Amino acid sequence: MPKNNYFLSAAWAALFAGHASAAVHPALASGQLGLYPAADFRLASGQCQDCPTPRQALWYFRDEPIAVPRAAGEPPLVWLGSPDRIDDAMLAPDGSRLGEVPLQLAPKIASNRSWFDARSLAFFRQREVSARGTMNSGVFTARSLWPRDFVLAPSAAAPLKSQDELAGWVQAEHGGARSAYATRTVWQRPGSKGAWAGKPALAVMLNGAQGDDDEAYGGHFAIATGRVGPQGEWSDWLVNNFYNLDSVSEKGIVASMVPMDSYLMDLNSGQQYYRPSYMLVAVLRDARTAAAYQSGIQDVFTHFYKHDFTYKHAAANCAGISIDMLRKLGWQVPQRGPTGRVTAVAAYGYMAASDRSLQSGQKTYDYFTEEQTRLYPAVAFDAIGRDLLALLDGQAGRTLSAYEQQLRDDVEAVVLVRIPQVPSSRAFGSAPVYSIAEYRERVPADRSKWQIVPTPPRPFPAALRDGPAPAEDAPMLPLPVLGTLAGLGAAGTGALWRLRLWLRRRKLSAAPAVRSP
């Protein structure tokens, strides 16, 4: 139990157990879980013996509450994190109760660098909240708190003045970490009545840069699906969250399909405790495009848990995996190309030499040569947003695929959502970077002064593999680097030969003449 004086002890709070039960209900008792009715799932843990879920996926959530489908066809596993919920309640001034329910917070993970404090309490005290947690002995242990005023409200369209304004909107007010929650309808179908309750949605989530981690300026990326709630709620949307499975996150994050309120507002792993976020929402009149994405990405998660492929910070990161699925479905999001192949060769040589590591050189080379919409969350967000608006305005400039035609026909509105950072003991974050050059401007020139959070490895058990482990990418010289070295070698050899020839001629010309006898 956190040592905050505004939380009651479990023993004292048990006196109020009789008042607590009416406000607490099982997490799957009602409502939605993404596009699906929550009642289509049952509560389990990773130790489940009869779940229709791959054993590899269950291994990652051995002691965690999860939702598994009652029938085939739905997500095989959703990481709930908590079995119970409280809806629409106010925090007591001292944080000791949520409504009439005695309250305490879930324990802080030891490696977590920030925590809920008096500033967090003041933030949530301004509004009604919902919570996920566990009810035990009359006390509700909250794992996440969700602001109930974070809703989508139809409004008159305020289109972006130019395509470049999308990036400007993300970067405004230093990324908006301290800004107010805000929504902006940037496109609306002519004749639309603006009634969004119950409508399906496909949402693109961009999380900003962290304020005290020099390896996290790139931000994070995810795609979510769900239905707009009766009052514009979106806390139960399903977020497809890809993280590295082979390391243990200092915040307790595990790659998974997860409810939006847990994704953003979990007290340990919630994105909003570390940085601001931005969301582009396509409100739909038919669920088919959102459902197609969700179905496809579920299969990707199955392969991911089985280690058929692994997370790579350049070639297969949160942005790359997500946008690859959109392109596989037929959404031809325009590519931006690599940062620079010539620069990549020079960067490889510099990092390999300075770090005395071919692996360091390879990592840097990969960043410079990877296609930018697959590499940078901010660039992926920008490219998808621009292209969606171009599709809807008939300005895509290409023959549309079947998926793109459905998307064009089904979108009723496009809404931008700015989500501020929850104040806590953590430093405020900012907007994510859009390029390597911007990243280098933010980090200290002296790498020894970088703030880095180490994460221990999480080896995948050999017994869980269905086949041999994928071959590891051994550090090697990329072909362009080899070509450059070969060219430099040839040029050097030629220069040396010409130098020797010049010296020889110079020596001959300087020798004294031989007289005839």
Query: pLDDT in tens for each of the 517 residues of the chain?
Result: 333 332 333 333 333 333 334 489 999 999 999 999 999 999 999 999 999 999 999 999 999 999 999 988 889 999 999 999 999 999 999 999 999 999 999 999 999 988 999 999 999 999 999 999 999 999 999 999 999 999 999 999 999 998 789 999 999 999 999 999 999 999 999 988 889 999 999 999 999 999 999 999 999 999 999 999 999 999 999 999 999 999 999 999 999 999 999 999 999 999 999 999 999 999 999 999 999 999 999 999 999 999 999 999 999 999 999 999 999 999 999 999 999 888 887 877 777 787 888 888 888 888 999 999 999 999 999 999 999 999 999 999 999 999 999 999 999 999 999 999 999 999 999 999 999 999 999 999 888 899 988 899 999 999 999 987 776 665 566 656 555 444 444 444 544 445 455 445 555 555 444 333 3
At 25 the three-state DSSP class reads strand
Unique residue bearing structure tokens 């990329």: 478
Amino acid at 54: P
**How far is Cα 185 from Cα 199, in angstroms, rounded to an integer?**
15
**What is the per-residue pLDDT for 138?**
96
Angle, alpha carbons 260-265-271 (nearest 5°): 85
Residue 340 half-sphere exposure toward CB, CA atoms < 13 A: 10
**What is the per-residue pLDDT for 345?**
79
Q: Are strands 24-26 and 277-284 parallel, antiparallel or unpaired?
A: unpaired
For 176-234, give the DSSP string.
STTSPPEEEEEEE-TT-----TT-EEEEEEEE-B-SS-TT-TT-EEEEEEEE--TTSB-
Please state the separation of Cα 105 from the chain's center in Å.
Answer: 25
Helix H, strand E, coil C: the string for 233-285 is: ECCCCEEEECCCCCECCCCCCCCEEEEHHHHHHECCCCHHHCCCEEEEEEEEC
**What is the per-residue pLDDT for 207?**
98
**What is the per-residue pLDDT for 267?**
98
Instruction: Confirm if 85 and 24 have CB atoms less than 8 A apart.
Output: yes
3-state helix, strand, coil in the chain (%, to 5): 35, 20, 45
The closest alpha carbon to 458, from 252, 308, 311, 246, belongs to 246
The closest alpha carbon to 301, from 54, 41, 11, belongs to 54
Amino acid at 12: W
**What is the per-residue pLDDT for 209?**
98
**How far is Cα 341 from Cα 480, in angstroms, rounded to an integer?**
8
**How far is Cα 320 from Cα 380, in angstroms, rounded to an integer?**
8
**How far is Cα 471 from Cα 455, in angstroms, rounded to an integer?**
23
Instruction: Confirm if 458 and 246 have CB atoms less than 8 A apart.
Output: yes
Instruction: Confirm if 414 and 358 have CB atoms less than 8 A apart.
Output: no
Q: List CB contacts of 340: < 8 A, sequence separation 6 or more.
A: 368
**What is the per-residue pLDDT for 447?**
85
**What is the per-residue pLDDT for 3?**
36
Angle, alpha carbons 102-237-288 (nearest 5°): 160
CB atoms within 10 A of CB 378: 27
Angle, alpha carbons 64-68-73 (nearest 5°): 150
**What is the per-residue pLDDT for 509?**
53
pTM of the model: 0.88
